[in-house]
Amino acid sequence: MQDNIILVGLMGAGKSTIGRQLARRFNLEFYDSDKTIEARTGVPIPTIFEMEGEQGFRDREEQVIAELSQLRGVVLATGGGSILREANRAALTRSGRVVYLRASAEQLYNRIHHDKNRPLMQTDNPLQTLRSLLQAREAHYLEVADLIVPTGKQKVAHIVNLIAQKLNQLQDLPYANAQS
Ligand SMILES: Nc1ncnc2c1ncn2[C@@H]1O[C@H](COP(=O)(O)OP(=O)(O)O)[C@@H](O)[C@H]1O
Ligand SMILES: O=C(O)C1=C[C@@H](OP(=O)(O)O)[C@@H](O)[C@H](O)C1
Ligand SMILES: [Mg+2]
């Protein structure tokens, strides 16, 4: 059964922002795996990285994604690294239509370089880090994607409209009544 909308893509692609709006558009509940992890631990993501390292964070992320993937009728914004684990890729593709929000490293850098809430960006050369992450992850994003949507230059409202339109074109989805 595939009635969820899952957003994947690198940091800054707009998963959290667009996911919230898509949920409103389709009258679905919105979940963000990072927000669920923060709510459960009671601390922000950077603190989890400090205290437990990236592996500790990834273990929590896998647990949360396994649970959220079981819900029905939701939009799920994932963390950018969630697709690194095979178990997450399998859970996400079973759970719903996966939308890859795609942008270049340069575009993402311009959006998020000032934001201190992404521990993986706290390097001497965040642009280079984004390039490396994109190179390492792109194949996984493409592997899980039902739909690929460029988000580097477009406005949020336009991206939301485009995703709604494309999802409505896919068969066997209960989205036909979405308001635009
Ligand atoms: N299409 C867009 N155009 C301009 N800014 C955007 C767009 N999408 C998201 N943003 C901004 O980029 C930043 C990262 O967005 P966010 O939704 O947190 O991305 P993600 O969850 O993929 O890391 C936020 O400041 C957000 O307002
Ligand atoms: O790309 C990554 O590995 C990460 C992306 C972040 O989420 P966003 O993609 O929503 O920024 C968050 O899960 C964590 O900082 C790790
Ligand atoms: Mg996010």
Q: Which domains occur in the chain, in start order?
A: 4-169 (3.40.50.300)
Ion ligand 3: protein residues whose beta carbon lies under 5 Å: 15-16
First to last CA, the chain: 25
Binding residues for substrate: 34, 58, 80, 137
Q: Summarize pLDDT for 55-99 with one digit per residue, the tens.
A: 999 999 999 999 999 999 999 999 999 999 999 999 999 999 999
Question: In 10 A of CB 7, how many CB atoms?
Answer: 27
Of 61, 68, 84, the C-alpha closest to 144 is 84
Residue 113 sits at the vertex; the CA angle it makes with 13 and 132, to the nearest 5 degrees, is 65
> Residue 169: pLDDT band by 50, 70, 90 thresholds?
confident
Ligand 1 pocket test: which of 15, 17, 75 has the largest number of ligand atoms within 8 Å of its C-beta? 17
Selection from 11, 39, 18, 30 nearest residue 117 by Cα: 11
Res. 172 pLDDT band, cuts 50 70 90: low
The reported pLDDT for the residue numbered 148 is 97
User: How many angstroms separate the alpha carbon of residue 15 from the centre of ligand 3?
Assistant: 5
CB-defined site of ligand 1, < 6 Å: 9, 11-17, 77, 111-112, 151, 154-156, 159
Query: Which residues of 29-126 form beta strands (DSSP E)?
Result: 29-32, 74-77, 96-102
Q: Which of the listed residues 11, 15, 75, 115 should we mutate to test ligand 2's pocket, taking the one with most ligand atoms within 8 A of CB? A: 11
Give the pLDDT of residue 177.
47
Is the pLDDT at 141 greater than 70? The verdict is: yes
ipTM surpasses 0.85: yes
pLDDT over threshold 50, residue 176: no
Tell me what the pLDDT averaged over the chain comes to: 94
- pLDDT the model gives residue 159: 98
pLDDT band at 31 (very low <50, low <70, confident <90, very high): very high
